[in-house]
Amino acid sequence: MKDSSQIELLGLDRHELASLVGSVGERAYRAGQIAEAVYRQRVESVAEISTLSQQLRAKLAEKGVLIGVPRIEQRFVSQDGTVRYLIGFADGQSVETVWMPEGDGGEAGDGSEAGEQAERFAALNPSGAEAQLENGESIAALKRCATQKQEQGQQSATPDEPRRTQEDQSRTPDQQSRTPEEQSRTQDQQQGRTQIRQRNRPSQGQNQGRSTICISSQVGCAVDCQFCLTALLGVKRNLTAGEIVGQVCAVLKDQGVSPPEDRINLVFMGMGEPFLNYDNFVKAARLLVEEVGIAERRMTVSTAGIVPRIQDFGGEKIRPKLAISLNASNDALRTRLMPLNKKWNLEMLMAAAKAYPLRTREWITFEYVLLGGVNDAPENAREVVELLRGIKCKVNLIALNPGPGIEFTTPEVERVAAFQTILRDAGIPAFVRRPRGRDIYAACGQLKRTVEIATAPAL
C-alpha cells in the first residue's frame, strides 16, 4: 500500500523538483540533476543519483522521497515480437503497456516524420503492408489527392507534403521487382525480427524509429465501448502523471533503448480514456517531451470523443497528435457501440474536429474498428465519407481483434478492402492497421490484464 507521506519523483516537473530541493536547503540547479537521473538514466532509488552529495541523498530519504518506479509484474511475448507488459503500482493496481518493435502502421499518413517512416516501411514490408496501395500508387499521391479534393481543385501538393519519387512510380503492388537497396533493407528487417524473437536488446541510438509504446492512462475504462475488452473491467481509478510516465520509463529500460538517441513512437491508446484523466495526461505528455526526450510529433493520443476536452486540447502548448475513435457512421449505430455518443453525438464531434487547430503537416486521425456485419458495409463507408467531408484527416481501419466476452466478429478481408477503397476513391487517405500481438491479447481493444495466452493467430 502506498504511504501518503512519501514523495515520488516520477511525475514531478522542474519547478516542483526545484521546490523540493529548496525545502531541504539546496539550490535550484539540483532539480536538473534529479530530473536527468530519474527520466533519462532511469534510476530506481535516490541512493543511485550519484550527482547528488551523500548528505543531500540522506536528506531526501529522511523526507520520504522515492523514485516511484512501477514494477513489471509479467511479460508476454508474441510470435511477432510484440511484448505485453503487466505493470503494477504501489497500491496493488495494475495496467498493461505494449511494446511493438515495428509499430502497427498507425502513424502512416498523419503528416509526421513517424508517419512517413511508417509509410516507407509499409511499402517495403513483404508480408504485412495492408497500407500499401494498388497499382503502384504512393501514399504521398493519395494524400495529395485528398488535399486537392478538400481544398476544391488545388492543382498540386502543398509544399509540406512528401513528393512521389521515381522509386514510388516504378514500384509494383506485389513488390516482386526490388532494387538492391530495397533487398538489403528487407534483409535487415528480417534480421531485426529474428533478433527480437531472441530478445536481444538494440544498441543505443540504433532504433530505426518504428518501435512504438502503447501506454495506459487509467486502470480500466469508463467509456464502455461494446467491442473492447478493457470496457469489461470498468474504471478503477485514474493514473497519476508519474504512473503514466513510469510505464514508458519501465519499458525503455527493459528494452535497452533511450530517447532521443533512439527514436520511439508513443501512443496513448492503452487502457482508459486519456481525456477523462486530462490534467494527468497533459502533464505526462509534457514530461515525456521535456524530460524523457520523446518528440511530441512522435506521440498520438486517442479519444472516444470527449468533445469539451478536444477543444481544450487544441490550445495546449505541448500536445501529441490527435486521433478520434469513430467506429460508426451514424448516430444510432454509434450510440449502440459507444454509449458515450448519447452525450456527445456525431454532429458535436465533427464540429469539434473541424474547429481543431491543426499545425503544419498535421492531419487528424479517425480510428474505425470494423465489426463483421455491423458497421463494415459499403453504405457505412459512404456515410463516413460524408461525415468527414471538409476535415483534413486520414482514417485508420482496424479489423476487430477478438476476445472472450465480445459478441462481435472480425470482418472478412474483402469487406475491409472494399471499405478502404470507398474511402480512398472519395479522396480520404485510409490505412489498415496491422494487428500486433493478437496471440497474447496485446492488440487494439484486447487489453484486460489477461494472464492466459489467446488462441487467435498473431497474423
Residues annotated as part of the active site? 96, 444
Distance (Å) of CA 217 to CA 224, 237, 303, 320, 393: 15, 9, 11, 14, 25
Question: Hey, is 267 helix, strand or coil?
Answer: strand
Question: Hey, is 444 helix, strand or coil?
Answer: coil
**How large is the angle between the packed helices 278-287 and 241-255, nearest 10 degrees?**
40
User: Grid coordinates representing 122?
Assistant: 509499409
Helix (H) or strand (E) segment spanning residue 307: helix 307-313
State how far the Cα of 217 lies from the Cα of 214, in Å rounded to an integer.
10
Burial of 345 (0-12, 13-18, 19+ CB in 10 A): middle
What single DSSP character describes residue 91?
Answer: T
State how far the Cα of 216 lies from the Cα of 32, in Å rounded to an integer.
27
Return all residues near 205 (Cβ < 8 A) that are at least 6 apart.
261, 262
What single DSSP character describes residue 433?
Answer: P
DSSP for 319-370, please give it.
-PEEEEE---SSHHHHHHH-GGGGTS-HHHHHHHHHHS---TT--EEEEEEE
- Sequence letter at residue 19: S
Maximum pairwise Cα distance, the chain: 70
Q: Distance from CA of residue 333 to its chain's centroid?
A: 26
State how far the Cα of 280 lies from the Cα of 143, in Å rounded to an integer.
34
Distance (Å) of CA 398 to CA 337, 367, 417: 15, 7, 11
DSSP H helices, 342-452, are 346-355, 378-387, 413-425
Three-state secondary structure of 243-264: HHHHHHHHHHHHHCCCCCCCCC
Return all residues near 313 (Cβ < 8 A) that are at least 6 apart.
275, 282, 301, 319, 322
| Residue appearing with cell numbers 501518503 | 4
